[in-house]
Structure 1
Amino acid sequence: MAENDSSQERTEEPTGRRLEQAREKGQVARSKELGTSAVLLASAIGFLLLGPSLSKALYRVMELTLTQTREQVFDTNTMLNIWIPIGKELVFPVLSLVFLLAAIAFAGNIVLGGMTFSSHGIMPKASKMSPMAGFKRMFGVQALVELAKGIAKFSVVAICAYLLLALFFDEILRLSMEHLPSNVYHSLDLLAWMFLLLCCSTLLIVVIDVPFQLWNHKKQLKMTKQEVKDEYKDTEGKPEVKGRVRQMQREIAMRRMMAEVPNADVIVVNPEHFAVALKYDAKRSPAPFVLAKGVDSVAFKIREIAREYDIAIVSAPPLARAIYHTTKLNQQIPDGLFTAVAQVLAYVFQLRQYRKGRGKRPTPIPLNQPIPDEYKY
């Protein structure tokens, strides 16, 4: 079987079970470029949003450290004393930026493939320690793809960096002509915008990498026809087991149906092949409904239970066949059979009164009752 599987081509799409098993092992589609690009863009946006407060904080720190008097310079406690004001200046912008980057880094790495927890990846494997497997990973198709992506990223970023430097070259030179602290603010603002535009260039790699990772993930999980058949057998069970389960289900349903026969008002028979147990309960249904039905051996069992519990058995072949073929269990009889069934129930109720000595013996109903053509079988 293993030889056959290895010789077959993986042409079948992965099944839901295959995808679920891969996910349990931590094997999901991931794009490193998406996470990296998200962090870079978040950094650039963070610098733009927090730039003014960060630049003011840095300017204040430089002012605190570079405007010391002669006595403060030679005082060994000076550096310890200025740490508290430096911390107050930097705590808000720095922590805000750190929390922003942490949140974006987390979201960027789970947006493709979702969040998974699996210990499968850290389990020791012989293949991970095999030199041959290591060489295959180093010089395989995936390694070539990563090399191509690295070259493409470097090329895109380098070209964009050159274009940005050329675009802002004159403005960068004019910084030397500005005065403090406006030139510091201007330089940081300029740096943040250039950094944002440079980070946007990585989106080109992301647009290409995300579809490739999805395609490659599905390609790695593709299955052979034999694997699909084996999985179907494992999931659905062997045919003989399924047959046994269905048989047990039928037996349980049969026992449940037979347990309802003692509650019937009448058993309509054919008289040998068909038997239908009917019940009329105005609280449950506006029309009589079927409690049990069957043919041959099942019909015989229904009649046997009916005799045991002294339930009336009425022979009406056309009506028995019509009810059997048109009505399901616990379903009320069709409108077209109301008249015929009403005659049967009226006969049964009159028969009960007669047996109790409260009336005369009813006239037996005819064997061939009028049945509409659409209910004749």
Structure 2
Amino acid sequence: MSEEQDQDDKTEDPTLRRLEKAREEGQVLRSQDATTASVTLGVISFLYLGGTWLGSNLAEIFESSLSFGGFIREPSAVLIKQFAGALVETFLFLIPIFFVALALVIATAAGIGGFVLSSKAVAPQLSKINPLKGLARIFGLRAIIELLKAVLKFSLVAAFAGTFLYLTLDYFFYLGWADTNLAIKESLNLVFLGAAMTSLALLAIAAIDIPYQRFELIKKLKMSKKDVKDELKEMEGQPEVRQQIRRKQRELAEQRMLDDVPKADVVITNPSHFAVALAYDIEQAAAPRVVAKGSDFMALRIKEKALEVGVEVFEAPPLARALYFSVELGVCIPEALFQSVAQVIAYIYGLSSWRPGLEKPKKPKPKVPSEMNFDSSGNRKVNKKNHVEW
């Protein structure tokens, strides 16, 4: 009862860490029906394609084992020796078939759930020896489902095999009156065809079983809300995880800034060390707003993005530094920079309306108030003048 209650509490899908841990323990997606179908179809195909070679070699083995020359002094000893040799040759002859089946088992398992080697999966578990839990497994819901699956699989395979026998029964009777060589050849063809039909039934079963096994695995690995919170706390406590989270947050923030560059009216640059993108919407704000800003490599990316989407890039080193160090992202510019930025935006608007034959707007040289004069490290410069020009 307590196990059922615990399972009811597990309503959350497994996290990536939970899936990785389960994989380390050997709990991965597997389908016995898919493996059976793959091996059956693969071995049948191998036997069919190499049927002539296989048949001739087996015939030679049995012919040599039944051939005796001259007088035999101890027939029993000779027979044992002959048949022992035939068995060894037959075993060696069937080794390729064994390796084909083994390769198909490994390939199918790797294709469905990946190739996993785990000692925990094969280690003995004392909990499985509990008689009460054993009875619960035998008479539980899962056992009933497995029984129904077995009945359905048997019914489907029997239906395919029965249909094939019904359609070919008359031909089998006809082969009883045919030439021996022809009868053997056609009988083998019919056997291969019947086996292929059965393999199709197994493939149909596998197509149903794989999603079901995935559902069962996810259900088994589900977590409670407490499990998810505990795992998150555990991961956040690890330095490498915290570093990874910060890096991811920084990358997302940078990407959001780049996505906002097309909304800007102008990008003011240092030219290479700093870049600040400004957007001005007179209906929403009284002053231009910083939609993206960055230094060094990020400044270069903002500049490249602006050129890519057709946003004007304006070079003004003191103004770019003033905006970068004094205005936060998403915030309107301070009143001290109104005049400087207004000159730049007026120039940009003038360029957008300029046409050949008209006088081209003169590029301004905006002044920066002395209290807004920063060096490349963000330190304020001391200057006797009230404004700094560039």
- For Structure 1 versus Structure 2, the TM-score category normalised by the shorter chain is 0.5 to 0.7
Choose 1 or 2 for highest CA Rg: 1
May I ask how many residue pairs the two structures share in their alignment? 278
Given that residues 38 and 105 in structure 2 are in contact (C-alpha distance below 8 angstroms), is that contact kept between their aligned partners in structure 1?
yes
CA contact (8 A) 1:25 1:118 kept: yes
The corresponding residue for 1:171 is: 171
Q: Report what 2:385 is aligned to.
A: 366
What amino acid is aligned across from residue 366 of structure 1 in structure 2?
K
Taking a change above 3 Å as real, the CA distance of residues 8 and 165 of structure 1, as seen in their structure-2 partners, is closer
Deviates more, 1:67-76 or 1:42-51: 67-76
Rounded to whole Å, the distance in 2 between the matches of 1:138 and 1:144 is 8
What SS does the aligned partner of 1:56 have?
helix
Q: What is the match of residue 9 of structure 1?
A: 9
Mapped to 2, the partners of 1:59 and 1:287 lie a distance apart of 83
- Which residue in 2 is equivalent to 1:194? 194
Distance in 2 of aligned mates of 1:289 and 1:338 = 17
Aligned to 2:253: none
Backbone CA RMSD of aligned residues: 4.3
TM-aligned CA distance change 1:319 to 1:113, over 3 Å: closer
The AA in structure 1 aligned to 2:222 is K
Matched residue, 2:181: 181
Distance 1:127 1:145 in 2: 22
Superposed, which structure 2 residues align to 1:316-355 within 5 Å?
322=323, 324-325=325-326
1:239-289 Cα distance to aligned partner (Å, 9 max, x none): xxx7xxx9xxxxxxxxxxxxxxxxxxxxxxxxxxxxxxxxxxxxxx97787
* 1:147 alignment partner, SS class: helix
Shift of 1:206: 0.7
In 1, Cα distance between equivalents of 2:23 and 2:272: 54
> Which range is displaced more, 186-195 or 198-207?
186-195
TM-score (norm 1): 0.61
TM-score of the superposed pair, with normalisation by structure 2: 0.59
How far apart are the structure 2 equivalents of 1:151 and 1:7? 28
Q: Which moved more, 1:148-157 or 1:85-94?
A: 85-94
Separation of aligned partners in 1, 2:47 and 2:220: 40
The amino acid that maps onto 2:325 is: Y
1:63 aligns with 2:63: yes
Pick 1 or 2: higher relative contact order, CA cutoff 8 A, min separation 6. Answer: 1
Match of 1:209, SS state, is helix
Note if 1:117 corresponds to 2:136. no
Check conservation: 2:65, 2:86, Cα contact below 8 A.
no
* CA deviation profile, 1:302-330 (whole Å, cap 9, x unmatched): xxxxxxxxxxxxxxx999854622699xx
Partner residue in 2 for 1:359: none
Check 1:327–1:73 CA distance in 2 against 1; reply closer, same or farther (3 A cut): farther
Identical amino acids, percent of aligned pairs: 30
Q: Find the counterpart in structure 2 of residue 206 from structure 1.
A: 206
Residues 200-230 of structure 1: CA deviation (Å, up to 9, x unaligned): 1111211111000111111111112221111
Kept in 2, the 8 Å contact 1:54–1:94? The answer is no
Ranges in structure 2 where 5+ consecutive residues have no aligned partner: 247-269, 276-317, 330-340, 345-363, 376-382
Residue 114 of structure 1 and its aligned partner are, at CA, apart by 0.9
Partner of 1:308: none
**Paired residue type of 1:43:** V
* Alpha-carbon distance change, 321 to 107 in structure 1, aligned in 2, over 3 angstroms: closer
Q: Secondary structure at the match of 1:168?
A: helix
Alpha carbons 2:365, 2:389 under 8 Å: kept: no
Q: Secondary structure at the match of 2:212?
A: helix
What is the match of residue 101 of structure 1? 101
**Aligned partners of 1:7, 1:109: CA distance in 2, in Å?**
28
Work out the CA distance in 2 between the residues paired with 1:80 and 1:202.
41
